[in-house]
Structure 1
Amino acid sequence: MDALTRHGVLCDLDSTIVGPLEDLADQQRDLSSAYDIIALLNDHGANQLSRASGDEMLQLNVGGSLSSVQRRHLTSVEGSPLSILFSGKWDGRFIRDQDSRVFVDMDPRAFEQARNALFEGQEGVDHLLCEAHKRQFTGVHDFWFKLLLSPLPPVVEEKRGLRCPQGKAGARAATKKAAYDKVMAEIQAVRPFLAPLSAAHPFLPHVRKGYEIRSVDLCGTTIATTQATLDDMGDIPLRNRFDMWSGAVHGVSDEHFRRLVDFYRRQRHTAAGAQLPLACVVLRGANATEQRFLDKTARMYGVIEGGAAAKGNAITQALQQSLSRLCRASGEPDDCFCGSVSPSGVRYQIVEEGTGLMPLRHQVVTYDCTYWRDKFNGSQKVHEARRYEYPMSSVRAEWFREALMAMRVGETRRVITPFKMYVELRLISIM
């Protein structure tokens, strides 16, 4: 046995702790590289040194309508996508028109209402969002109010495949990851409003190919959008009206034409169909007469398919067609379930929009329901009930109560339950 010497002890100690310390240093370098916020912002063309003044008057072109707003108003709702967009760091990636105005691809009337609420301060914004919430965001412009003025939701914790150390080092890693994910969520929120980066010249501020601004004259009013929004429409008359036919549009309701364009703008802000029902609200008429004329305009411009005798209104058909397109884009079959997720985490899809009231807890509802074990309209049907009357106060299953209370009379909804049953509900009446 070797004699116990100071040198030997130190060598043994060194071999015991150096390895773990080197591993820890490697992990720290990996964490710094993986969650480098400065590199992330640089990669997306943000100007981190921006010293934008709140007093600066921004010249805007919003969907073809001109507006001038001080930057401090647009950034007054802290943490909102609108505030992030006009913070100054993204100025170099703005889409600009021929007069160097910042082009914002959204409905100008929605922007005007949001802008006026901002002029009234936080109280005005709170009132606007509160009223939209009471309507369950089914108002014509509520989609934009929620998108632009609501603070970004908290980042959901997800595993990135990177092993984090425990203890204080683990806490630091978690903090870095949370900050990184927050910045990434902000980038995703404003990305649809920005011109894409050029691979060769990532910081050039001019408009890149694919984001040229296209406009039409409609009864003396200019309606403008980006080429990227038109490309999302596919080969339909509405796109051709911007791209191929230069003459002014006459004999068509400007309100209906605006809504058709805005429907495709909204789709660029929806993720995997999660918010498509809200995006489709713009195709809902205020009454049966308006809906009939809106459907006619939507068919004329190819937003929905079929002639005058086709079944279903614009909002229902457009939703179904958009969901199918999302499924095909993701490699799924046309009958895949690209629905929304309820607050309790249950997946659902609105097959047909309802136009009536929504039930309350003390009321009795009449509904149809069908259960399948394999898939919707599958071969393994396990239950079917027609015109079933049931008091809402007696509903025990959370997913079932949540679905019924969110439905309007006339609505057909499909739900995948927590126990993997495929359920189709139709709300017939409320007593």
Structure 2
Amino acid sequence: MTGPRHPAPASFGAFVARAASDGRLVVQPRMGMADPADMRAGLRAVRQAGVCATGTITLDSFTRVGDHAAARAALAAGDDLNGYPIVAYAPRVTREVLDGVHDPSFPVQVRHGSARPQDIFAKLGACGLHATEGGPLSYCLPYSRVPVAEAVRAWTESCRVLAEQRAYGREPHLESFGGCMLGQLCPPSLLVAISILEGVFFRRHGLRSVSLSYAQQTHPDQDAEAVRALRTLAGELLADIDWHVVLYSYMGVFPRTPGGATALLEEAARLAVRTGTERLIVKTVVEAHRIPDIAENVAALRVASAAAGRTPAATARPDAADTGILAEARALVEAVLDLDADLGTALVRAVERGYLDIPYCLHPDNVGRTRAHVDATGRLCWSQTGAMPLGAAVRGKDEDTTAEHLLRSLTYVERAFDDAALERTMTASQRRCNSR
């Protein structure tokens, strides 16, 4: 169930809200091609995939860091780029990509990874787009060396630019990437807290339609508890705007076998349905090997949609274990909000003091005193909490994380799903032998 207020019918948020009200999970690829014809073909293929989907234009790495001259030079030289250079192209080019494809029945979101996205946000409006994602922490700490204070200023300006699209009859939508910090080994409570804080930041800077992310981690019941915590806090702090939750298929070391990768994606779809999550970002069976092509992205959308269709709708589970994720996330959010009336200033101070301290993050501003590991039950847990204001909310005690433990945690999901896929293959083979 989405937030209580829906934006204008032509918006990204309204599309997701309508799908949710019809009991459909929205599925979405992470796809971006440099050539406009290829990008258009990708969007058309997703639109025609026969599932409830939104389109994606993922930008290239030059555009991500604001080196638009390098992007233009690459285009002029015929060099390949790893995404769509929206700033390097004239708005007319992108409008032609979208013509007859992007409309209220098939919204398109721009995904970029930039800590300083002002140029990108300005170009969105000129191209007729009004949905994007990121955040002052989530697109700064993992992906850049830009000082957090500078990223906060950039995102303050960018939110204003995006919110101004409302004057042109569009309801802009902004998704926090906060639930995906480094992709793995960031315990759920911190993912929930950063996503909520960025959602509040967006709201305070004029956005009325937002989404809050969470990345699938190592244990489905722990993930379900985290998504419930995310929805609880969003209901409390974002009750006066439209919001929904977006789940990311696992973003760490992906299974190498097709069977393991497919099973992991199907588990993400089931998790989305049973937690009432409205949108799912998919991954493909080739994720561990290379960038997927259009057909592989479409196949992943269909697999996820089919798995969602086979899963019973979300139901209340009063017997579900409470391991303290909501209490931890609430403690983090409240501690940050108490640092300063201006949330941007509070975010900067929270990073400086280690209140928001991302495990294994190498950004110069990150304090780096926290650690995490996957325990014997498969749950992602704190090993060291540094200066984070968690207090008694954290169960267990700090312990050292060795290099061997870290490697095993990093590959836990890959090994679990590939081993299970191999076991299924061997069992099927044995059955065939026995039937002869």
Tell me if both proteins adopt one fold, taking TM over 0.5 as the criterion: no
Structure 2 length normalisation: TM-score? 0.24
**Greater share of strand:** 1
TM superposition score normalised by structure 1:
0.24
Higher helix share: 2
Q: Which has the higher contact order (CA 8 A, sep 6+)?
A: 2
